[in-house]
């Protein structure tokens, strides 16, 4: 599939590449070094590959893969286990059910689609934290994290598109 | 991104069923994370131990860039800032001298009163090699762990005040739960008056302050220190000051975790507090008018009590009931019992 690009990426390698991108997103977001003095919560970088490949190639980003990435996010962030795992799966379910609607979005609409999925993930995390801690946490940090992640999706989308185009296959818009 | 002209490939089997199973697994993970957190904690500490050299290596350049960027705005006020710091330094030296004199005087008074010595407090200095800032989580990672004698629950302070507590310890790294974290609860006291309160983090910069006595009047600006209740944290560590946000009292913390590079981990070695030996009059049967069932050895009628030798001219103090009982002296009389009742009424 990558012959026209002069690359030789094996089928197995390209099939696990979306998951590897998610793992890289988790690790980069959880390198516990603050560049902004803790003013803004770390973005959910791992959610970008989950959303992107859930739309364009759901066979390469399955629900168990989304669960695994969420669990890894929980593990490395030091928080209670399962919060992001459940949030990723709930958001994945929404995107999976409304794939045609999300995939039909283009340009700034694609960002709005990601923002909607991000909102679902953040609301799920907020509710799970409220249930497990028996108190409502402040909403501000969740909103800040969502905004940061959505803003980073602009370059993230370009990067993921390039990765997909070069190593995995063509986008559906190329057909 | 796409225009909907391509049929998306799917894996074999029923995807909806797969998603349902995965959703159940995720919910189970939430429950398991609450019930078996130690399992995942071990994985976390292993990860931090493995990545500690990388974090240590990245710490220098990242902190350097952060300080350089943060210092750009200070270039134009360096001269005035320098003058202000010189003045402040001169005043602080005067306060340091006063503090040293008072410290020596306090030691003399403690010797005169034969007061119980403060618990010994050793500390380990550690570098901050990472910070995690999440919507419901505020932690930092230190480069000291079990190898340096760090234990969970120990207090972490910077040069201004308390930052948080150790909650996970690896071989050579440890995780700190900051006072601002959603799960943080520590017993504190508001001075003057030593009003007991609980400082509860809620992931805002100012944790909430809940006094144990309803209706107690706090004032903005009163200092907050650790109360030492529970014996886990040392008493008297500076924490912050009282603030009012319009609806409730909160604490403005003295320490700044975002700028702290080196912190101290305090190891409180406090001997376990022994309850006083009950005297004959402390038994409920005596209070009910019945004779005690058996006398303790130190309450035998023939027991000799050595009188306290006081210097000439010093009036005899009225010692509290507890040391007398521990020393094997006579049980407290009615005056002491009444004093205890008065104390209870005060509370």
pLDDT digits (tens, 9 = 90+) for B291-324: 666 555 544 444 444 444 545 554 554 444 444 4
Cβ–Cβ below 8 Å for B29 and A35: no
Q: Burial of A152 by CB count in 10 Å (0-12 exposed, 13-18 middle, 19+ buried)? A: middle
The DSSP letter of residue B119 is P
For residue B133, pLDDT over 60 is answered with yes
| Cis? peptide before B192, omega within 30° of 0 | yes
d(CA A119, CA B327): 67
**pLDDT in the model for residue A115:** 92
**pLDDT in the model for residue B336:** 38
Cβ–Cβ below 8 Å for B132 and A59: no
Q: Which secondary-structure segment (H or E) carries B264?
A: strand B262-269
For residue A63, pLDDT over 80 is answered with yes
Let me know: does A83 contact B49? Beta carbons within 8 Å: no
**How far B325 CA lies from chain A's nearest CA (Å)?**
45
- Closest partner residue to A175 among B6, B26, B40, by Cβ? B6
Cβ–Cβ below 8 Å for A40 and B27: no
For residue B124, pLDDT over 80 is answered with yes
Q: Which of A2-6, B93-97, B157-161 shows the highest mean pLDDT? A: B93-97
Residue B342 inside a domain? The answer is no
Q: Which secondary-structure segment (H or E) carries B59?
A: helix B37-71
Query: Helix H segments across chain A?
Result: 11-30, 47-56, 63-77, 83-97, 99-103, 108-133, 140-163
d(CA B13, CA B23): 17
d(CA B56, CA B48): 11
d(CA B241, CA B30): 37
Nearest to A135 by CA among B210, B130, B89, B140: B210
For residue A66, pLDDT over 50 is answered with yes
Mean pLDDT of B62-84: 74
Two structure tokens written together for A109: 């609409």
- Find tokens 């006072």 and name the residue: B179
Q: Which residues contact A92 (CB under 8 A, 6 or more apart)?
A: A50, A54, A63, A66, B19
**pLDDT in the model for residue B268:** 72
Q: In chain B, what residues touch A125 (CB-CB under 8 Å)?
A: 135-136
Number of cross-chain residue pairs from A and B with Cβ atoms under 8 Å apart: 203
Question: What mean pLDDT value characterizes chain B?
Answer: 73
Whether B167 and B111 share a structural domain = no
Whether B215 and B143 share a structural domain = yes
pLDDT band at B289 (very low <50, low <70, confident <90, very high): low
Domain end point (choices B240, B269, B298)? B269
**How far B74 CA lies from chain A's nearest CA (Å)?**
17
Cβ–Cβ below 8 Å for A59 and B9: yes
Nearest to A120 by CA among A142, A94, A102: A94
Q: DSSP of B152-197, one letter per residue?
A: TT-EEE-SSSEEEEEEEE-SS-EEEEETTSTT-EEEEEETTTTEEE
Two structure tokens written together for B135: 């919507």
Comparing A94-98, B198-202, B291-295, which segment has the lowest mean pLDDT?
A: B291-295
Cβ–Cβ below 8 Å for A82 and B23: no
Q: CA dist A28 to A49, A73, A136, Å?
A: 13, 11, 28
Whether B135 and B249 share a structural domain = yes
Backbone angles phi, psi at B212, to 5 degrees: -80, -20
Q: Sign of the CA dihedral B266, B271, B272, B275?
A: negative
**pLDDT in the model for residue B17:** 61
Domain end point (choices B115, B150, B185)? B115
**pLDDT in the model for residue B345:** 38
Q: In chain A, what residues touch B183 (CB-CB under 8 Å)?
A: 133
Q: Which secondary-structure segment (H or E) carries B74?
A: none
pLDDT tens digits for range B161-186 = 889 999 888 888 888 988 888 888 88
**pLDDT in the model for residue B219:** 83
Percent of chain B clearing pLDDT 90 (strictly above): 3
Domain that holds residue A48: 3-174
Pick the more confident residue, B314 or A22.
A22
Nearest C-alpha in B relative to A146: B135
pLDDT tens digits for range B41-55 = 888 888 878 877 877
- Closest partner residue to B134 among A42, A90, A96, by Cβ? A42
d(CA B282, CA B318): 19
Cβ–Cβ below 8 Å for B8 and A110: no
Two structure tokens written together for B52: 């500690």
Whether B219 and B200 share a structural domain = yes
Residue B279 inside a domain? The answer is no
What is the domain-level CATH number for residue A29? 1.10.1760
Nearest C-alpha in B relative to A112: B1
What is the domain-level CATH number for residue B168? 2.40.10.340
Nearest to B134 by CA among A131, A155, A136, A32: A32
Nearest to B141 by CA among B48, B37, B256: B48
**pLDDT in the model for residue B34:** 79
Nearest to A174 by CA among A5, A29, A31: A5
Whether B143 and B211 share a structural domain = yes
For residue B326, pLDDT over 50 is answered with no
d(CA B324, CA A142): 58
Mean pLDDT of A23-38: 73
Q: How many domains does chain B have?
A: 2
Residue B332 inside a domain? The answer is no
Domain end point (choices B269, B289, B313)? B269
Domain that holds residue B36: 21-115
Strands (E), B76-173: 120-134, 137-142, 155-157, 162-169
| Residue A15: CB atoms within 10 Å | 13
Mean pLDDT of B227-243: 83
Q: Which residues contact B281 (CB under 8 A, 6 or more apart)?
A: B287, B331, B332, B337
Query: Helix H segments across A31-62?
Result: 47-56
Whether B165 and B100 share a structural domain = no
Q: Which of A84-88, A138-142, B122-126 shows the highest mean pLDDT? A: A84-88
Whether B143 and B216 share a structural domain = yes
């Amino acid at each position: 599939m990558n012959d026209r690009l002069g690359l030789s990426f094996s089928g197995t390698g390209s099939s696990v590449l979306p998951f590897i991108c998610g793992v890289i997103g988790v690790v980069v977001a959880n390198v516990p070094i603050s560049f902004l003095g803790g003013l803004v919560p770390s973005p959910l970088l791992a959610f970008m590959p989950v959303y992107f490949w859930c739309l364009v190639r759901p066979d390469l980003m399955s629900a168990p893969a989304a669960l695994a990435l969420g669990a890894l996010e929980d593990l490395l962030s030091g928080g209670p286990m399962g919060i992001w795992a459940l949030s990723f799966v709930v958001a994945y379910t929404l995107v999976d059910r409304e794939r045609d609607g999300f995939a039909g979005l283009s340009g700034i609409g694609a960002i709005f689609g990601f923002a909607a999925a991000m909102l679902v993930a953040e609301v799920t995390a907020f509710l799970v934290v409220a249930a497990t801690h028996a108190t409502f946490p402040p909403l501000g940090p969740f909103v800040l994290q969502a905004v940061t992640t959505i803003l980073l999706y602009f370059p993230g989308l370009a990067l993921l598109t390039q990765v997909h185009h070069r190593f995995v296959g063509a986008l559906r818009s190329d057909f | 991104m796409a225009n909907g002209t391509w049929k998306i490939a799917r894996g074999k089997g029923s995807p909806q069923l797969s998603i349902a199973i995965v959703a159940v697994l995720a919910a189970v993970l939430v429950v398991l994370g609450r019930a078996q957190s130690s399992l995942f904690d071990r994985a976390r500490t292993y990860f931090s131990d493995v990545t500690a050299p990388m974090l240590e290596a990245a710490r220098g350049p990242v902190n350097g860039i952060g300080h350089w960027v943060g210092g750009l705005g200070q270039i134009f006020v360096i001269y005035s800032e320098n003058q202000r710091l010189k003045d402040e330094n001169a005043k602080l030296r005067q306060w340091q001298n006063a503090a040293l004199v008072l410290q020596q005087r306090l030691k003399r008074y403690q010797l005169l009163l034969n007061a119980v010595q403060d618990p010994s407090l050793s500390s380990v200095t550690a570098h901050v090699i990472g910070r995690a800032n999440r919507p419901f989580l505020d932690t930092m990672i230190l480069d000291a762990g079990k190898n340096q004698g760090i234990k969970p629950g120990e207090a972490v302070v910077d040069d201004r005040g308390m930052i948080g507590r150790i909650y996970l310890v690896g071989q050579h790294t440890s995780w700190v739960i900051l006072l601002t974290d959603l799960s943080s609860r520590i017993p504190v006291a508001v001075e003057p008056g030593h009003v007991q309160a609980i400082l509860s983090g809620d992931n805002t910069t100012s944790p909430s302050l809940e006094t144990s006595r309803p209706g107690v009047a706090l004032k903005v600006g009163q200092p907050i220190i650790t109360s030492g209740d529970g014996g886990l944290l040392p008493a008297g560590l500076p924490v912050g000051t009282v603030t009012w946000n319009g609806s409730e009292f909160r604490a403005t913390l003295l320490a700044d975790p975002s700028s702290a590079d080196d912190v101290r981990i305090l190891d409180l070695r406090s001997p376990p507090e022994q309850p006083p030996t009950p005297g004959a009059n402390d038994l409920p049967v005596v209070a009910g008018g019945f004779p005690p069932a058996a006398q303790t050895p130190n309450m035998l009628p023939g027991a000799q009590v050595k009188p306290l030798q006081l210097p000439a001219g010093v009036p005899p103090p009225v010692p509290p009931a507890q040391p007398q009982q521990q020393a094997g002296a006579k049980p407290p009389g009615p005056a002491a019992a009444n004093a205890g009742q008065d104390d209870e009424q005060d509370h």
